[in-house]
Amino acid sequence: MSAFFTTICRSIFAARAVAVAALIAASAPRGGSSGATAGPGDWPQFRGPGARGVSEETGLPDEWSTDRNVAWKTAIPGRGWSCPIVWGDAIFLTTAVSSGQEEDAKKGLYFGGDRPSPSPHSHRWEVISLDANSGKVRWQAAVHEGKPDDSRHIKNSHASETPVTDGERIYALFGNLGVYALTLDGKPSWSKRLDARKTRNGWGTAASPALHKGRLYIVKDNEESSYLLALDAKTGNEVWRIDRDEKSNWATPYIWENGSRTEIVTAGSGRVRSYDLDGKLLWQLKGMSSITIPTPYAEHGLLYVSSGYVMDPQKPAYAIRPGASGDISLAKDATQGEFIAWCQPKGAPYNPSTLVYGPLLYVLLDRGLLSCYDAKTGAPLYQQKRLADTAQAFTASPWAYEGKIFCLSEDGDAFVVRAGPSFELLGKSSLGEMCMATPAISRGALYIRTLTSLYKIAKPKS
């Protein structure tokens, strides 16, 4: 999402998954040669500031339906699981519009979603800007048109990577097509084509780009030749590129600014790796599950990394201290190390990223189970509490505000849980349509993308 989604297939027994991972872009320029400073309420990347999915705003809605607390609803053409993003009074998202009839997306965990051959239909890849106040489309920019070079799982899309913004340009990545930079009024700034590479079982791509101080970072993990790429955000020129000993992953990279240095953290099934801003490897960690999707992030002076493919016995969630170097992998059966504050070997989710809110870490498992841990020690507080008997599939990452945790299912049902060490389900809101993108939170509103539409959810103005 980052988002992975961001991201989007999974199977209880043999299928693997593509996340709708994501990062998030926005509008309304505020100046500055290396990117404008995000203002209060801006949501410029997957899961917002710090990629954490937490808002400190008040007055946000905690219940809604298709006709309650809906400020507006706008139809979005095509299919895309990129997350909406907000800058100023503009919203941005991406989509891929097919010229023919595509197979319907199917919710849940199941066999048989692999589609090894690309679609035979021509597609139009678009970046769309909407007015946050009215929901009206400001502009639609078609960045490419043609037949896809890659296949995808039927739950994935050709627009699953969430764009990111610095307040000057929007950077939209379509993983097996290219990256496209546009001005905030939709004019092309630069573009860079990326060669299509085979992904595991032809599931497609979903890892979103990361942006930091004038550079755009792209992880392209695949079955042929994986790499980490740094581009100049102003020109699109390649700054550096390093090869990665990885196969397909769908995790968005994270820029970790800590007391020791700034690092580029990349989660992978082979290893978690951290690089400096020039692409030099700093440290690495073995011990992830066989598919890696969730996005890393930091809080309480710790880096949180997870990987939890549903069929693996090993589903680790780690909290990592800054300052590491070399191989920091844990010894067999160990749950702590010099630079690993704690590890829960079987605690991680598959598609959703984890959530730290206050002193606690929440884990939303794909099958609708919620767990809670002490974020600093990893001590379990409650584990695998079912949100509802009918809630069996979750891809969007959870988010939090005003003392509540929100978990959005693929059915479009949002379950509200009171934040704290005891499990308490407060309610459920439904939009009645498939949801896989993680919402954006901005200026008193929640922006939820469904299969066909974008909703602005907000309390009525008094």
Task: Identify the pLDDT of residue 111.
Answer: 75
Task: Identify the pLDDT of residue 36.
Answer: 62
- Residue 12 pLDDT greater than 50, yes or no: no
Contact 357, 300 (CB under 8 A): no
Mean pLDDT computed over 238-251: 97
- Spatial separation of the C-alpha atoms in residues 453 and 95, rounded to whole Å: 11
- Chain segment 355-396, per-residue pLDDT in tens: 999 999 999 999 999 999 999 999 999 999 999 999 989 999
The domains of the chain are located at 49-458
- Chain segment 68-93, per-residue pLDDT in tens: 999 999 999 999 999 999 999 999 99
Classify residue 326 as exposed, middle or buried by CB count within 10 Å of its CB (0-12, 13-18, 19+): exposed
- Chain segment 250-270, per-residue pLDDT in tens: 999 999 999 999 999 999 999
Instruction: Supply the DSSP string of 248-270, one letter for each residue.
Output: ---PPPEEEE-SS-EEEEE--SS
Mean pLDDT computed over 172-185: 97
Architecture of the domain spanning 49-458: 7 Propeller (2.130)
Which DSSP letter does residue 185 get?
Answer: T
Average pLDDT, the chain: 92
Phi and psi (nearest 5°) for 51? 55, 35
User: 433 by DSSP, 3-state: which?
Assistant: coil
Band of pLDDT at residue 461, cut at 50, 70 and 90? confident
- Spatial separation of the C-alpha atoms in residues 166 and 161, rounded to whole Å: 17
Which DSSP letter does residue 100 get?
Answer: S
Count CA within 13 A, CB hemisphere, residue 149: 15
Lookup: tokens for 266: 């990349």
Mean pLDDT computed over 230-259: 97
- Spatial separation of the C-alpha atoms in residues 49 and 85, rounded to whole Å: 11
- Spatial separation of the C-alpha atoms in residues 424 and 65, rounded to whole Å: 21
Band of pLDDT at residue 194, cut at 50, 70 and 90? very high
- Residue 328 pLDDT greater than 90, yes or no: yes
Contact 399, 115 (CB under 8 A): no
Instruction: Supply the DSSP string of 308-329, one letter for each residue.
Output: --TT-S---EEEE-SS--EE-P
To the question of pTM greater than 0.85 for the whole model, the response is: yes
